[in-house]
Every structure is written in C-alpha cells, then in structure tokens.
C-alpha cells in the first residue's frame, strides 16, 4: 500500500546483470532477500580469454566456419545426442566429436577440413594451456541457430566475422581493461600462463568468483542461478563450475542456492528448448514459504514446455511423463 515500506527486496539479472547479481550476493550480502542470476558473466576475464582462444583458431588459414559448416555440426550433434528431438536434453551424456565430419580423400562437400575441425574443437573445448582446460567452451546442438554461434562467435561470413559480438567484446575488453593499449591485437596475443597473470588486476574488480556465500546465507538470502545449455555467449559449464566451487567451499547448499540448467536455451532466452520461467515468482515463493524450489516447468512458443530439474538433476522420460534423475556431474 502507498506509504508502506517495501516488505522484500529482490535482484534479477542476466548476462552482465547475472554477474551483478552474484556481485551483490558476494560483496553486499545484506542488500537483497533473494537473487536470480541468469547466464552469469562472472568469470569475465577468463571468458574473454576463452573467446580470444577461439578467435585465434578461426583466424588461422582455412579455419573459418561458415553457415554450411555450422549446419553440418548442428545436424551431426543432434543426430548423435538429441534422440530425434530439436535439442539436446542431457548435455553431460553427449560426447560429440566434430572429427566425425572430417573430409575423406577427394571429398569437398558435406564435410570439414582439418583446420575447420580444429576451430570447432577450440569452440567446444575452450581455452587449453599445456593440456589443461583453463575455461570451458560451448555445447553442441545449436551451432547454426539464429542468435547462436554466428551472432556471438563466427559472424555471418569470413569477411565480417570481426563484427560478431564475441570478437568485438573480447577485442575491446582486452585493449582497454586488461592491457590499456588501443593498438593491442588479441589475435596475436599470448594465451598461455602469461594471460592468467596479466588478467588478475582486472579480475579483482570485474569478476565475481568468491565462492564463500556464508554472509548472504546468514542474512537469510536465497539464490537461484540459471543458464541455457546452448548459450553461445557465456559457456554453460561456467555456471556449473561456480556451483561446484560454492558447494566445495560451503558444503551442501540446497537450503539457500539452486542451479537450473535449461536444455536448448540460448543466451538468456530463445533457442529450440522452452526456457521461459517466472523466476521472480519462484524466488518470492521460496523466500516467503521457506520451501526450496524443486522441479519447474519452462514454457516456450506454441504451448511447448519442458521440465527443469535442480542441478545435477536431469529430466528423463518416465512412463507417460517426465521425472528428475541424477545426471552426470561436470568435472
């Protein structure tokens, strides 16, 4: 009613807003009663290094992936892992290797060359240094989707691939936030251990990676994190990485923190998988009723829907319906 003080205070954000959401939980734990953090860009400097890694692969002679190659990858991934559906429901059970599309001797159509396979592997695999994964890459199944890899990673053509969001964001971020050099060329940079030293000053300000959410929990705060499995902007496995770090730091966290991974969803919204959830309503019910959310229903166009399970749960067919079963954990 007019003149009354607000009863509750909530924060809902996605992408950069998701990073801000986690910053609130980590740095200002008393500000909000509940927080929804979607597609969190909290490993900002690591994600930027990962984009630079894939852009360097795409820029190598013969390494560019055009629309036809992206469609080949998507079709093959769905054939292997989607059980005839339009999106992959259990990404952790999918082990797609783009080398299955390698051109045979004399073949020039319907296949990928060795440099193109290397580019795909760099995008799927993420930045690797000395055989060790430094940050994850992107998941298969939506490579050619509208708003997918072309928008964020490859651009619509070799002539314009520098206009993709991932290329532009990483180039500018590295020039002005990490190195302070307008002439810096990230296609020629050292992405080995040197980068992990160089990024630390920026990381201290712009990353949101503190896994100790004890003050937020003591305040009574509730945190819901969600991420689309086919996000082409921020690697989905980064959400699982943070979830794992928090649980290792604090023990079981289900009483105040839940993660939902959304099959088929792109960056914050869209994609072949239904991904619309009333996250604020779910959060408010958790805070008010003090009952942690379990299975949720995400909706999409034309009445489509799918069950979402708290991670590491995965929705599986059970008779005429669906049920959550424990899926394979990352790492």
Shared domain for 89 and 140, answered yes or no, is yes
DSSP 213-257: -HHHHHTT-EEEEEEETT-SSS-HHHHHHHHHHHHHHHS--TTTE
Tell me what pLDDT residue 330 has.
61
Chain segment 117-154, per-residue pLDDT in tens:
999 999 999 999 999 999 999 999 999 999 999 999 99
- Tell me the C-alpha to C-alpha distance, in Å, between residue 117 and each of 111, 179, 196, 320: 10, 31, 26, 40
Statement to judge: residues 267 and 199 lie in one domain: no
What total of structural domains would you count in the chain? Answer: 2
Q: Per the domain annotation, does 284 fall within a domain?
A: yes
Last residue of a domain, one of 169, 204, 239: 204
Both 197 and 67 in one domain: the answer is: yes
- Which of helix, strand or coil describes residue 161? helix
The answer to whether position 3 is within a domain reads: no
The residue segments making up the domain with residue 311 are 10-42+208-326
Say whether both 219 and 156 belong to one domain: no
Tell me, yes or no, whether 219 and 292 share the same domain. Answer: yes
The dihedrals phi and psi of 186, each to the nearest 5 degrees, come to: -75, -10
CB 85 within 8 A of CB 322: no
On whether both 214 and 194 belong to a single domain, the answer is no
pLDDT for res 327: 62
pLDDT, tens digit (0-9, with 9 covering 90-100), for 178-235: 999 999 999 999 999 999 999 999 999 999 999 999 999 999 999 999 999 999 999 9
197 and 213 together in one domain: no
Do 131 and 280 belong together in one domain? no
Quickly tell me which residue has 């559906």 as its tokens: 85
Whether a cis peptide bond, with omega within 30° of 0, leads into 312 is: yes
Percentage, residues of the chain above pLDDT 70: 98
For residues 53 and 198, membership in a common domain is answered with yes
Residues sharing a CB contact under 8 Å with residue 239, sequence separation 6 or more, in sequence order: 39, 40, 225, 226, 227, 259, 261
The owner of tokens 């490579």 is 143
Report the alpha-carbon distance of residue 293 to residue 254 in Å, rounded: 9
In a domain, 31, yes or no: yes
Say yes or no: 192 and 216 in one domain.
no
Residue written as token pair 């690797």: 128
Q: What is the pTM for the complete model shown?
A: 0.95
- What pLDDT score was predicted for residue 4? 79
Q: Are 183 and 266 in a shared domain?
A: no
CB–CB of 232/284 below 8 Å? no
Helices (H) and strands (E) in the chain, counts: 11, 10
- For residues 83-95, give the mean pLDDT: 96
Residue 329 carries which DSSP code? P
The angle at the Cα of 281, spanning 34 to 303, to the nearest 5 degrees, equals 140
What 275-280 contacts at long range (C-beta under 8 Å, 24+ apart), as own/partner pairs, is: 275/228, 275/300, 276/300, 277/226, 277/308, 279/12, 279/36, 279/38, 279/224, 279/226, 280/10, 280/12, 280/36
The string of pLDDT tens digits covering residues 22-43 is: 999 999 999 999 999 999 999 9
Domain harbouring 241, CATH code: 3.40.50
Please state the φ and ψ torsions of residue 323, each to the nearest 5 degrees: -145, 155
Same domain, 232 and 124: no
Tokens of 302: 């034309």
In a domain, 241, yes or no: yes
- Does the pLDDT of residue 328 top 80, yes or no? no
């Amino acid at each position: 009613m007019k003149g009354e003080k607000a009863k509750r205070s909530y924060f809902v954000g996605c992408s950069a807003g998701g990073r801000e959401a986690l910053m609130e939980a980590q740095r200002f734990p008393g500000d909000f009663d509940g927080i929804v953090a979607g597609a969190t860009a909290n490993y900002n400097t690591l994600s930027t290094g990962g984009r630079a890694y894939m852009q360097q692969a795409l820029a190598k002679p013969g390494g560019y992936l055009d629309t036809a190659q992206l469609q080949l990858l998507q079709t093959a991934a769905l054939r292997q892992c989607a059980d005839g559906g339009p999106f992959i429901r259990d990404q952790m059970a999918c082990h797609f290797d783009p080398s299955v599309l390698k051109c045979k001797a004399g073949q020039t159509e319907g296949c990928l060359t060795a440099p193109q396979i290397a580019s795909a592997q760099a995008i799927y695999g993420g930045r690797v240094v000395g055989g060790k994964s430094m940050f994850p890459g992107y998941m298969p199944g939506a490579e050619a989707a509208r708003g997918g890899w072309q928008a964020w990673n490859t651009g619509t053509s070799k002539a314009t691939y520098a206009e993709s969001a991932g290329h532009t964001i990483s180039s500018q971020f590295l020039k002005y936030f990490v190195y302070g050099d307008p002439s810096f060329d990230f296609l020629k940079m050292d992405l080995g251990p040197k980068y992990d030293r160089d990024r630390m000053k920026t990381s201290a300000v712009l990353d949101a990676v503190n896994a100790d959410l004890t003050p937020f929990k003591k305040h009574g705060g509730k945190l819901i994190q969600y991420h689309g499995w086919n996000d082409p902007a921020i690697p989905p496995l980064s959400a699982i990485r943070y979830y794992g770090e928090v649980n290792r730091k604090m023990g079981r966290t289900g009483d105040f923190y839940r993660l939902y991974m959304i099959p088929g969803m792109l960056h914050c919204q869209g994609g072949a998988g239904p991904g619309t959830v009333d996250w604020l309503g779910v959060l408010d019910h958790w805070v008010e009723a003090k009952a942690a959310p379990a299975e949720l229903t995400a909706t999409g166009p034309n009445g489509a829907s799918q069950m979402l399970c708290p991670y590491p749960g995965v929705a599986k067919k059970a008779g005429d319906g669906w049920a959550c079963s424990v899926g394979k954990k990352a790492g």
